[in-house]
Amino acid sequence: MSRSPAPRSNPPLRLLSREPSAAEPALLELQGVGKDYVSGPEVVHALIDVDLEIPRGQFVAIVGASGSGKSTLMNILGCLDRPSYGAYRLGGIDVGARSVDERALVRNRLLGFIFQGFNLLPRTTALENVELPLVYRGLPRQKRRRMALEALEQVGLLERVSHRPNELSGGQQQRVAIARALVTRPPLLLADEPTGNLDSRTTLEVMDLLEKLVETERITLVLVTHEEEIAARAHRVITVRDGRIQDDSYNAPPPPRQKADAEHSESEA
């Protein structure tokens, strides 16, 4: 039988500021989290007793075969689904116990999403696509525009602000999607196969950009991938199998100048 979280009274929802205190715990923490789905007479255990802590500024890759539970795990981390049992805390908030509206507020303030398919609105410009999360936040137009331009500058696309998605390359569309995820200045980015629709050269460019954001902005990046080369670039690799974390390991840092040398070799070729 699946376990349901015990009813509890929740304190008022308070979101973390951008800068953490010295004694701040992990940015996100799962304790004994499980997710069950009822399929006819059977119960499918998609996640089973998952314990996980991820601090600020860490780049984590989640890998696993189809049906392993990694997508369910990402849905819970993204506050798109609730655990059947266990606790999920994000920025000190027990989001698993919150209402639908409160989880939507957490998503808008603490989370940025990057998808394989870009998910851009086709009839709007790059600037308008990036502004969209700020529209949901209710910010005035002038402030939205300023913040969206800053985000597009971060990803090197100021010269494309008036272009629609069909006027942009795949790599440029993904950069717009990254700017949209960054525009609310969230501490946590969740990326679902963000390079799956890109060629190898553009994949390197997008990954270099994401790594730079982790290093310079102290953003936490959790990325689902099936590509070994992408997972090898992460600080940490979590392997999910049959609803459980099978392995949790750290990658050795790359040798100095590795990226620069690769770019130099490419330019000479």
Among 38-52, 90-104, 138-152, the least confident range: 90-104
CA distance linking residue 264 with residue 269, whole number of Å: 9
pLDDT at 259 over 80: no
Share of the chain above pLDDT 70, in %: 85
∠ CA 181-80-166, nearest 5°, is 40
Looking at residue 28, its amino acid is L
∠ CA 65-66-69, nearest 5°, is 85
> In which element (H, E) is residue 252 found?
none
Backbone φ and ψ of 213, nearest 5°: -65, -40
* Confidence category of residue 108, pLDDT binned at 50, 70, 90: confident
Closest CA to 24 of 87, 90, 86, 112: 90
| Pairing mode of beta strands 28-39, 42-54 | antiparallel
Q: Which residue has the higher pLDDT, 253 or 231?
A: 231
Using DSSP, state whether 264 is helix, strand or coil: helix
Contact in structure between 185 and 151 (CB atoms under 8 Å): no
In terms of Cβ atoms closer than 10 Å to its own Cβ (0-12, 13-18, 19+), residue 213 is buried
Tokens of 33: 């989290």
* Homologous superfamily (CATH) for 28-268: P-loop containing nucleotide triphosphate hydrolases (3.40.50.300)
CA distance linking residue 96 with residue 50, whole number of Å: 14
* Confidence category of residue 262, pLDDT binned at 50, 70, 90: low
pLDDT at 8 over 50: no
Mean pLDDT of the chain: 86
Residue 212 CB neighbour total at 10 angstroms: 14
